[in-house]
Structure formats: C-alpha cells, structure tokens
Amino acid sequence: MNKSTGKTVSARLRILLLVGTVLFAFNTATAQDAEMAMESHGSQVESSLGVDWTTQYFFRGIVQETEGLIVQPWVDFVFPLFEGKNASFSLNVGVWNSLHDGVSGSGTDGMTMHYELDAYVGIGVSFADNWSASATYVLLSSPNSAFGLVKELDVSLSFDDSALFGSEAGRFHGVQPSVMIAMEIDGQSDGGTEEGSYLEIGIEPSFDLIQDDDHPVSISFPITGGFSLSNYFEGPDGEGDSFGFAQGGISLSTPLSFVNARMGSWTLSGGVSMLYLGDHLEVINGGENSEIIVSLGVGIGL
C-alpha cells in the first residue's frame, strides 16, 4: 500500500523517539536495580539492553516484514540463583520487540507500529566448565493484532569449545556449536493447524580481526539451520516441510570505548547474511527462495 512521504517520516520519527525513550528508561532503571541487588545480596545482576535495525524480518525463516523501517529494541536480565563447584544456576527474564512502519505496522490504516512483543522467563545452568543449557517459557504476542498469541517452551544446549584450541590459537574463539528445540504449547507461529515442534542447529566460528586495546574488532560467521520435528512449517492445509531454512553470514562487532564506563559497556555490531528457504516458506515469501538481510545494532551491558 502506498503512503505519503509525510506519513512515512512521521512514523519513523515516532519509532526513533520510542526507541530512545525505552533505552534511556531501561538504562537508568537497570543500573539502579543492579546496584541495589549487589548491595543487598552480594551478587551482581547481569543486565543488558539494546536496539537493532534490519532490512527484513524473518522469524525462523517465516516472513514477517520486508518493507519500511524495522527497529527491534530489547532488554534482558540474568539473576544469579546458585553457584556451586561444578554448576551454577540463573534466572533469565527479558522482553524483545519489533516495531514496523511497513505494511505489517503503521503503514496500514488502523495499525500501530508495535508489531511484536515477546516476553520470556527461563532457568539457565552452566556446568562442566564449558557447557550451558536452559529452559525458557516464551510468550509471542502482537500489540497491533497482526497475529495471535503463541506460547512455547524452548530448550537449548550450547558448548564453548574455545579452550579446545588452546592459548596458542590466539585470535580464534572456537566454533561455538548450539542446538535449540522449541515446542509450541498454544498457538502456531507458522499459520498451520496444529502446535508443532521446531529444531534449530547452529555454529558461530569467531576470531579477533583487530587486536587493539582501544578499538578491537571481532568477526564471526553465524550459520543456522531450522527444521520441523513435528507439525512445524505447515500451511493452512496442514501440509508442511521438514526443512525450513538455512542462513549464513558474516558479523562484525566492536566496543564503543569512547562511552563513559558509568553508562555501561556499549558494543556496536553489524552484519550481512543470506537466507535460503524451503519449499513451503518459499511459497509464503511470494515465490522467493533466498533473501539478503543486512543488520546493525547497539548493545549495552550493565
């Protein structure tokens, strides 16, 4: 749907103002909460927030928005629960948003820019020095009613293999393999007829591109594959594919060392990736089986 230039500029200004307000508010609040937690409990609450921009938004290969401005602010908290000799447990709580001024957002009459709001809470465990696992309950919702509420349970496992390469590897930080299973409890993200189960397998080889005390730069090559374990990547007729998508790309990140340390640890990141879609996802993407996606983001650790 065509829209006037004035409406486009106005919508984008509202998005930028909203993102700025959210970042400022969370930056202040999380810093105060973390400081209070340290004083009262003697352990540090890890908190982070940020905002990402992307040229297109695909959720597990399922097209959500390919036009207009797409801004995705988020905030995440990790609360230490227990730390023992062989394992440590933590509580993870966070919120992730996607704001659009394209056809899925304020670019359509009667719609607001707030396309998606995901809230999650989970328990994480680190064990055997380099293994991490988590179980997370997730609510995927749409404030502008673009899709129905989806509830799912996500279970993940990852392995930090950097130590396998020894200190002589220097710049290289390992392959970082991970696996995640998402089980839909209520609702469907794929527009199908039954709740499904999803499998994601990934690696992210990374190394230091520039080793510099003031301006270091790291580079990584994330590769992800998404598959249906049961009833995922369905169509309205109930038929679907086992293979959903494959995505691979390159990402760069660097700390913004010029930012005052009292405002947290700021990191700038960006990347480009290619997304290849399976047969069903190709159909709902208008017959296109591949896409190039560019992203840019700022994260703040407190």
Residue 20: predicted pLDDT: 54
* Both structure tokens of 25: 């508010």
pLDDT tens for each residue of the chain, 302 residues long: 333 333 344 445 554 555 555 445 444 444 444 444 444 344 689 999 999 999 999 999 999 999 999 999 999 999 999 999 899 999 999 999 999 999 999 999 889 999 999 999 999 999 998 999 999 999 999 999 999 999 999 999 999 999 888 755 568 999 999 999 999 999 999 878 899 999 999 999 999 999 998 899 999 999 999 999 999 998 666 677 899 999 999 999 999 999 999 999 999 999 999 999 999 999 999 999 999 999 999 999 99
* CA 225/CA 179 separation, integer angstroms: 10
Interval 209-227: pLDDT, tens:
999 988 999 999 999 999 9
Residue 17: predicted pLDDT: 53
Q: Could you tell me which of 167, 91, 176, 166 has the C-alpha nearest to residue 130? A: 176
* CA 73/CA 61 separation, integer angstroms: 20
Domains along the chain with CATH numbers? 5-301 (2.40.160.40)
- Sequence-ordered list of residues with C-beta below 8 angstroms from that of 295, at least 6 positions apart, any chain: 52, 53, 54, 55, 270, 271, 272, 273
Kind plus residue range of the DSSP H or E element containing 178: strand 178-186
* CA 10/CA 291 separation, integer angstroms: 28
Say if CB 185 and CB 151 are below 8 A apart.
yes
Q: Which residue has the tokens 């984008």?
A: 12
User: Long-range contacts of range 265-269, CB-CB < 8 Å, 24 or more positions apart?
Assistant: 265/300, 265/301, 265/302, 266/298, 266/299, 266/300, 267/298, 267/299, 267/300, 267/301, 268/296, 268/297, 268/298, 269/296, 269/297, 269/298, 269/299
Question: What's the pTM?
Answer: 0.85
Residue 191: predicted pLDDT: 78
